[in-house]
Structure 1
Amino acid sequence: MTTNIPKHPCTNKCPNFKGEQCKTCLVQELPSSKEYDSEFLPGDVVVLIGEGTNDVLLEIVNHMYTPNMYRVKILGSRTFGPAFKDDIRHATIAEIQANRRLTEAEEALAEVS
């Protein structure tokens, strides 16, 4: 049988391999790169966007359990935590310079100057 999965790790190792990942094999298939394509990458500086959240800058560390959840740390510290994709946005240059999330009014002033 010809497979469309070139050099798949199960080939010639697992008797249940029939051209695609089997469910009994110990060789685990890695998630596709498309599954974890994202607008946020490790090292990106982000801020929380929810009302009443801390105005600290956060750094993306990596994906957590799902493509919509990230492990983040407070910039310059060792404090880690989770953040959902919908709850964060990239920090602006003005926010990075101020070392905190800016209010909408402060952001508007920063854009003018």
Structure 2
Amino acid sequence: MRTFPETASEYIQLAERAVDRFSLSQNIDDLFTAILVTAHSFDFFHRENKGRPAEEADKQAFGIENPDWKIIRQLCNGGTRARLTAVGDPNLCPSAERAIPDRTV
């Protein structure tokens, strides 16, 4: 069983494996995984080197230097927006009150 990456190097290796997996499978789920992991690899790299989460200005500057990453990030953001448009706001962290069905009789 693999554990979640703890360093930028491990996270980048995860992104490379995801891209390789998509290359072999040509599956849409594998494509989305590859895009998502690649887009967020910068967050791990930045946090490790700067000691804080990446801010939008950091991502813009990195995107200028790395246009391929910028395109991947735009694809990831576009996929997220498309999902929100199709499904509505996801309830990613339901409160305990909403997660437990109402038992009143």
- More helix by proportion, 1 or 2? 2
Higher relative contact order (CA 8 A, sep 6+): 2
Pick the structure with more strand per residue: 1
Interval containing the TM-score (normalised by the shorter chain): under 0.3
Task: Give the TM-score taking structure 2 as reference length.
Answer: 0.22
Q: TM-score, normalised on structure 1?
A: 0.21
